[in-house]
């Protein structure tokens, strides 16, 4: 961008709560990250779907616009009043300018009169859950255009996806801040944010990086995660929460796509970092209640999720567990067939603010195995078009249990049953083998 552009007179309206808007932008942490592949992908999709040579995801700071994701445009930033997006964020509706030369506000703009000679602009504000618009998703052309209502609706949908991504970043930032305050561990919060940034390469890779390491608790936990054609909201984890206590969980967010995957990641991050307030992580009912408070469906575009959470005391073999709308784990004892653990399931997480989740208790012996799974493993449509009966799923799991790698054998069964390698839903499987005391 030329010096002439930088010296152009700048005039733009301010939102009613500009300071609040700037604070919300800072909370996303997006200004401090070098790049976000998810936003790059959204910009590419916008350019392709609307057949535009230029598409941008912009973050509007106090004095400048940061072009966070760019297609067909090389500049990284510009004074706030130079691009057209500073005008778009003061409204909740898209700003559509079919011919910039016919608009008195922009007809003398250096972006219109000089390179890159823009003539058309359409931008949708990126509005967070608190109503603050922190940027825009926009498309531009060097020819006048009259977009259709369908094209503008597509731009709205993509803008909502970008806003949800930024909202998820803001949530993780807030959770990290809680960890910092409670533990006075600023270093850990900074590392967590740095880790998050590295993991946001793409949605599937992001989910995989927050799953347990394959070497964690060798011989005790074994897990398998297989994403669907369109990445869903499955997640799983295991962790040591005391000298003799080991926790595990399997979860499933409703729906598919980036929003479900990012909510799943935020929940797993909260459990991994123990960033929930007023929660006893050794108590499954306390953990589920804490997640229910932290992730209300109304704040996450109607998304809710299921979960099974358990805590094993390796000294006594006592397992405490609770489920929130999730299938109960299967228990396999040496020489005995698999049985479904008895439990009184509670409601889905994020739906009922005052809900509670009852705990169940079972005594396990060394060598006993527990298998937790998401519904993508058991709710399979057969070639006949009928849903696989749950009893048939348990029988298949029993046969898989006799194989060297039971989880891989069960996944192969699911793929054969569905008649395809890429399944319609995520599959998450977690195997717990009870160790000998000491």
CATH number at residue 256: 3.60.40.10
- Confirm whether 150 is domain-assigned: yes
Same domain, yes or no: 257 and 368 = yes
**Is residue 95 within 8 Å of residue 133, measured between CB atoms?**
no
- Confirm whether 203 is domain-assigned: no
Pairing between β-strand 339-340 and β-strand 360-363 as defined by DSSP bridges? unpaired
User: Which one of 105, 135, 163 terminates a domain?
Assistant: 163
Pairing between β-strand 305-313 and β-strand 245-256 as defined by DSSP bridges? antiparallel
The side-by-side arrangement of strands in the sheet containing 120-127 is 77-79, 64-71, 54-60, 133-141, 120-127, 95-97
Residue 138 phi/psi, 5-degree rounding, is -135, 160
| Alpha-carbon span 145 to 140, nearest angstrom | 9
| Alpha-carbon span 236 to 425, nearest angstrom | 15
Same domain, yes or no: 225 and 339 = yes
User: Which one of 125, 144, 163 terminates a domain?
Assistant: 163
- Confirm whether 182 is domain-assigned: no
CATH number of the domain at 81, please: 3.30.450.40
- Confirm whether 151 is domain-assigned: yes
Same domain, yes or no: 250 and 364 = yes
SS3 411: helix
Which residues span the domain enclosing 417?
211-261+271-433
- Confirm whether 321 is domain-assigned: yes
**Is residue 124 within 8 Å of residue 50, measured between CB atoms?**
no
Same domain, yes or no: 227 and 128 = no
Residue 282 phi/psi, 5-degree rounding, is -90, -5
| Alpha-carbon span 44 to 24, nearest angstrom | 25
| Alpha-carbon span 231 to 208, nearest angstrom | 11
Mind listing the pLDDT tens digit of every residue in the chain (438 residues)? 444 444 444 578 899 899 999 999 998 888 887 778 889 999 999 999 999 999 999 999 999 999 999 999 999 988 988 889 999 999 889 999 999 999 988 888 899 998 899 999 999 999 999 999 999 999 999 999 999 999 999 999 999 999 999 988 888 777 766 666 666 545 654 565 555 445 434 555 656 666 776 555 667 889 998 887 666 788 899 988 888 999 999 999 988 777 888 888 889 989 988 889 999 999 999 999 999 999 999 988 899 999 999 999 999 999 999 999 999 999 999 999 999 999 888 999 999 999 999 999 999 999 999 999 998 888 888 888 889 999 999 999 999 999 999 999 999 999 898 888 778 888 999 999 998 876
Could you count the other beta carbons within 10 Å of the beta carbon of residue 404? 6
CA 93 to chain centre: 26
Give the chain's domain count. 2
SS3 221: strand
Same domain, yes or no: 86 and 224 = no
- Confirm whether 438 is domain-assigned: no
DSSP 108-154: T-HHHHSTT---EEEEEEEE-TTS-EEEEEEEEESS-----HHHHHH
| Alpha-carbon span 250 to 267, nearest angstrom | 11
Same domain, yes or no: 55 and 137 = yes
Residue 161 phi/psi, 5-degree rounding, is -65, -45
Same domain, yes or no: 109 and 218 = no
User: Which one of 105, 134, 163 terminates a domain?
Assistant: 163
Same domain, yes or no: 216 and 154 = no
DSSP state at residue 163: H
- Confirm whether 176 is domain-assigned: no
- Confirm whether 204 is domain-assigned: no
Could you count the other beta carbons within 10 Å of the beta carbon of residue 361? 9
Dihedral of CA 208/296/189/282: which sign?
A: negative
User: Can you give the pLDDT at residue 170?
Assistant: 82
| Alpha-carbon span 176 to 185, nearest angstrom | 10
Same domain, yes or no: 34 and 146 = yes
Same domain, yes or no: 343 and 419 = yes
Residue 232 phi/psi, 5-degree rounding, is -100, -150
| Alpha-carbon span 310 to 282, nearest angstrom | 9
């Amino acid at each position: 961008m030329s010096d002439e552009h930088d010296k152009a007179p700048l005039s733009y309206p301010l939102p009613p709560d500009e300071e609040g808007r700037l604070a919300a932008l800072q909370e996303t942490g997006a200004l401090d990250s070098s790049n976000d592949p998810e936003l790059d992908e959204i910009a590419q999709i916008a350019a392709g779907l609307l057949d535009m040579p230029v598409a941008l995801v912009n973050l509007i700071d106090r004095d400048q616009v940061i072009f966070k994701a760019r297609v067909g445009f090389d500049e990284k930033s510009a004074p706030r009043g130079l691009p057209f997006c500073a005008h778009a964020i003061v409204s909740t509706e898209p700003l559509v300018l079919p011919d910039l030369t016919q608009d008195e506000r922009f007809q003398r703009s250096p972006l219109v009169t000089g390179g890159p000679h823009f003539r058309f602009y359409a931008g949708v504000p990126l509005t967070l859950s608190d109503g603050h618009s922190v940027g825009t998703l926009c498309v531009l052309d060097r020819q006048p255009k009259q977009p259709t209502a369908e094209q503008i609706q597509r731009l709205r949908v993509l803008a909502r996806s970008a806003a949800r991504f930024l909202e998820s970043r803001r949530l993780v930032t807030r959770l990290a801040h809680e960890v910092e305050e409670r533990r006075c561990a600023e270093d850990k919060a900074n590392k967590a944010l740095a880790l998050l940034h590295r993991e946001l390469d793409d949605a599937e890779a992001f989910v995989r990086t927050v799953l347990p390491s394959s070497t964690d608790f060798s011989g005790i936990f074994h897990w398998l995660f297989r994403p669907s054609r369109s990445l869903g909201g499955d997640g799983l984890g295991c962790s040591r929460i005391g000298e003799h206590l080991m926790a595990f969980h399997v979860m499933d967010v409703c729906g598919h796509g980036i929003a479900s995957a990012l909510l799943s990641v935020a929940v797993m991050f909260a459990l991994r970092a123990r960033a929930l307030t007023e929660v006893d992580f050794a108590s499954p009912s306390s953990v589920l209640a804490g997640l229910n408070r932290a992730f209300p469906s109304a704040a996450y575009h109607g998304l809710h999720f299921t979960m099974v959470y358990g805590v094993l005391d390796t000294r006594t073999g006592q397992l405490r567990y609770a489920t929130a709308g999730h299938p109960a784990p299967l228990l396999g004892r040496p020489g005995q067939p698999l049985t479904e653990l008895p439990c009184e399931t509670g409601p889905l997480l994020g739906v009922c603010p005052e809900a509670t989740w009852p705990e169940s208790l079972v005594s396990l012996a060394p060598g006993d195995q527990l298998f937790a799974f998401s519904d993508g493993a058991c709710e399979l449509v057969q070639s006949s078009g009928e849903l696989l009966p749950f009893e048939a799923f348990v029988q298949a799991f029993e046969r898989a249990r006799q194989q060297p790698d039971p989880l891989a054998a069960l996944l192969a069964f699911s793929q054969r049953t569905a008649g395809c390698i890429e399944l319609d839903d995520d599959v998450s499987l977690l195997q717990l083998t009870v160790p000998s005391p000491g």
